[in-house]
Structure 1
């Protein structure tokens, strides 16, 4: 019997890489994100390559009404979700707390914490009804090691860490697994979004070492999702070999 994965933030980066990997493994997919055109393009590509069933839902994860409407409007057969990958997340700005931008704070809190909660509340109830499931939350090394000017972003990812622990306890009696994945430096659109489209500044973040790729993180997510039914990996941190913690790197200069 085929399984189904719901992936938030599937239009780029880690979410897109997860979609491709889970599709390759024969999963049917529910793909969400804000960019309808990218979702449809990805769905067509994966359907042609792997002949799986795919549903797309374009909405803003920050808007509770949109999340509820689009997910609850799915046909009943799509509500049998085996794996939820709470991937949608971002960082905005890199300012000391006294210079922080209120809009940036709201965007990070609404996306990284509240959006995760909105999706998890709905899908966890589907999983409870079917008696099993696995929720994978994308945290960050920023949730483990706070760094200068990371303040609010680090706080949102620390919240993901804490929420994952709480969800694991609350959902334990319902046979639902919960895993938190905390990557170090991953070269995706992350830094470009943080620096609001400044490609040159974003590129410099990854100079002098080999960062993780979106595919590296997706491969790790697949690993935890493919463990036997009696095995749950609660918490996993992965780093580039050249990174020791949030701020310590072995960078080569040319």
Structure 2
């Protein structure tokens, strides 16, 4: 992916990682393969994208830009829903990843910023994928909680990207 971006656009200045998937696998008896899938998508993919975006700027002597991770409220709070406890573990990792990235960027004396946006429930296919065998359970989540819309997340991203260079959100 980054090789294609380099070829077509010379590099990456803004990297927005919006990875997130969950499997309803409990901590006490969940499938290892599902846990690995969540770690690969929710944590490892973000780490790779952050590294590659930073290296892209470094190769081009660009000392500006943004690495933005779309996280989750689950990255800050454990909700009483066993179906998403392992997913929550991965989102706590995104919180730590973003803060570690921010510290490393600061230690490199770069002007590249790192931000984590942690929305609550967003109206996407997330619930229907989580509960693909139980439509009623997925639909109930959207009636129990008033979900955010994609445009709400876009507004948050726009705010972060439009903040002055000396502002860390």
TM-score, length-normalised on structure 1? Answer: 0.60
CA deviations on 1:150-172 (whole Å, 9 max, x unpaired) are: 22111100000001000001112
1:84 aligns to what?
15
The alpha carbon displacement at 1:209 in A equals 4.3
**Whose helix proportion is higher, 1 or 2?**
2
Pick one of 31, 39, 42 that aligns with 1:112.
Answer: 42
Distance 1:185 1:80, change over 3 A: same
Q: Kindly report which structure 2 residues correspond to 1:1-254, keeping only aligned pairs within 5 A, or say none.
A: 70-76=1-7, 78-93=9-24, 95-128=25-58, 129-148=61-80, 149=82, 150-172=84-106, 173-196=109-132, 198-233=134-169
Structure 1 unmatched ranges of 5 or more: 1-69, 234-254
- Number of residue pairs matched? 163
What secondary structure sits across from 1:122 in the alignment? helix
**Whose strand proportion is higher, 1 or 2?**
1
Give the number of the structure with larger relative contact order, counting CA–CA contacts within 8 Å between residues 6 or more apart: 2
Structure 2 unmatched ranges of 5 or more: none
What secondary structure sits across from 2:33 in the alignment? helix
TM-score, length-normalised on structure 2? Answer: 0.88
8 Å CA contact 1:92, 1:196 repeated in 2: no
